[in-house]
Amino acid sequence: MTTTEARPTDRKPPQLVDMSWDPITRIIGNLGIYTKIDFANREVVECHSTSSLFRGYSVFMKGKDPRDAGFITSRICGICGDNHTTCSDYAQQMAYGVKPPPLAEHIVNLGEAAEYMFDHTIFQDNLVFVDFCEAMVKATNPGVLARAERTEAPRGEIHGYRTIADIMKAFNPFEGEVYKEALKVSRVTREMFCLMEGRHVHPSTLYPGGVGTMPQPTVFTDYLSRLMRVIDFVKKAVAMNDDVFDFFYEALPGYEEVGRRRVLLGCWGAFQDPKVVDYRYESMNTWGKAMYVTPGIIVDGELVTNNLVDINLGLRIMLGSSYYEDWVNEQPFVTHDPLGNPVDMRHPWNQTTVPVPQKRDFDDKYSWVMSPRWFDQRTGDHLALDTGGGPLARLWSTALSGLVDTPYVKATGHSVRISLPKGESLPETTLEWRIPQWSNTIERDRARPYFIAYAAAMALQFIEEAMGMVRAGETKVFENFEVPDEAIGCGFHEAVRGVLSHHLVIKDRKIANYHPYPPTPWNASPRDKFGTPGPYEDAVQGQPIFEENGPDDFKGVDIMRTVRSFDPCLPCGVHMYVGKGKTLTTLHSPTYGADHG
């Protein structure tokens, strides 16, 4: 089985209640979580993840000029559009046979590092921590809040808060100190992004072959000055998160089971090394392992592979519970990769998207999301990998591979050490993220501030190397290329919330097939043809409920913490109903506004 094993408990006669949250969104309302909760045994017994939106990018990309792919696909998302542009450019560079100049690679890396810092900060501190803030804990677990008020914060000398409750209060929306400071940090990191990529979130200076950013010294010094302004905030964030998450384990014994699933993590790698990368498929294993975030697939704590060629060939797009026609009887676009390896018909290079709208049926078809899987040749399993919200998989893969060894970041084989310089008030600090015991809600959330620190540390290296090139007069940032009549390409990158791939087929100098796979299809996938649930479903289904409220005033905070730990999208609107469609609440404004008290 690829799913999490059932957790044995002493069972009481079940008290089942249907409860659903739809939509759970960031920008658009297309994610729904449908559950059956056993209140007698305090457990979620069934979960289905649904998407009510069909985008169709793989359909209307056909026939376009491939050079437009980066600009078009950035519109897939209003949050991580730059990740799509970057990944598309990687795929195009493989197809065109072009390698950007080294300075251009550093500029892209600096832009992506700023994006990780921006997005993870605003999501963690302004969205995730609403579920852990004083107002929410008071409404769902008043006993826990009372204990938090009596519990000293172990790392108070770093972040400045005396008790755990003080930290929780600092995350109250609109009025908490950290909540407001995080918004300011997000503004600064967004400015850093725009210095490198021109416009947020749809870049105006990223192209296949290089960048249009003018590499003037002031561009890099302006970036660096902003980076140094947020260094201490990053150190404090790690300390605050560790204090709160350690407290939850202590205050609620068994909370490690919330959102826990089998360790099935995927990372496609990030931050190219300009000295190694050439975008040739034939050398993809070499330059993939040289990335400053190491790609990898982790199964039950074991690193199965960090070879991007193997990762690519194992991709399978399954159907099962999705609203689409199958394409396996069509003619393949690609039969073999450039190394001569056979390419499966369910690989993204060969996918054809034919939507079939129909009524939602949880016993049959119920989502517009397909079911990406990775085929494990050792066992024959189609693994429902998840991204751990992005940072968990990135850190876990990098730690196990032990390949990253830079002045600021070092992978040890069991951890990742991150060194940050002295800031305005805190001294030079070395943080260490250690491989956790579980892949669960808390560890997904805990990894996020550590990866903000990781991105900040790598940005220091990139800025030093870029400024060294400018001082040496190495200012070339673009390489010319020709679009071939026929070609294939693939790009692998990490969107903020996890794995991102773009697969491109060119015929007659036009796009013949194009398939982007961001992290949410992996995490939000429904049950596939084998009946294997997707990661949201698997993580929620079977998890215990610790909320003190009963069915009549149940908020579902443990379920929401689990879904949001994957960084699915902004929960700007949540509609909840019970039983036969009875609406309990409809929220059109953020939870817990300034007048929550």
87 marked as binding residue: no
Length of the chain: 597
DSSP state string for 45-103? EEEEEEE-----HHHHTTTS-GGGHHHHHGGG-SSSHHHHHHHHHHHHHHHHT----HH
Contacts of 370 (CB under 8 A, 6+ apart): 317, 318, 319, 322, 324, 521, 525
The closest alpha carbon to 489, from 513, 520, 521, belongs to 513
Element housing 33 (H / E): strand 31-38
Give the 3-state secondary structure of residue 538.
helix
Instruction: Name the token pair of 495.
Output: 């969107």
Q: How far apart are CA 23 and CA 572, in angstroms?
A: 9
> For helices 102-126 and 177-197, what crossing angle results, to 10°?
160
Contact 232, 426 (CB under 8 A): yes
Q: How far apart are CA 501 and CA 312, in angstroms?
A: 9
Element housing 398 (H / E): helix 391-401
- Cβ–Cβ contacts within 10 Å for residue 361, how many? 9
- Cβ–Cβ contacts within 10 Å for residue 360, how many? 15
77 marked as binding residue: yes
Give the 3-state secondary structure of residue 367.
strand
Half-sphere exposure of 2 (CA within 13 A, CB side): 25
- Cβ–Cβ contacts within 10 Å for residue 15, how many? 13
267 marked as binding residue: no
Give the 3-state secondary structure of residue 193.
helix
The closest alpha carbon to 84, from 63, 111, 106, belongs to 111
Q: How far apart are CA 312 and CA 308, in angstroms?
A: 6
47 marked as binding residue: no
The closest alpha carbon to 496, from 124, 216, 154, belongs to 124
Instruction: Name the token pair of 534.
Output: 């997707």
Q: How far apart are CA 449 and CA 431, in angstroms?
A: 11
Q: How far apart are CA 451 and CA 394, in angstroms?
A: 8
The closest alpha carbon to 321, from 536, 166, 120, belongs to 536
Q: What angle do CA 586, 592, 594 make, to 5 degrees?
A: 125
The closest alpha carbon to 297, from 404, 410, 384, 403, belongs to 384
Q: How far apart are CA 330 and CA 340, in angstroms?
A: 21
572 marked as binding residue: yes
Residues annotated in the binding site for Fe cation, as ranges?
80, 572
Residues annotated in the binding site for Mg(2+), as ranges?
575
Residues annotated in the binding site, as ranges?
77, 80, 569, 572, 575
Residues annotated in the binding site for Ni(2+), as ranges?
77, 80, 569
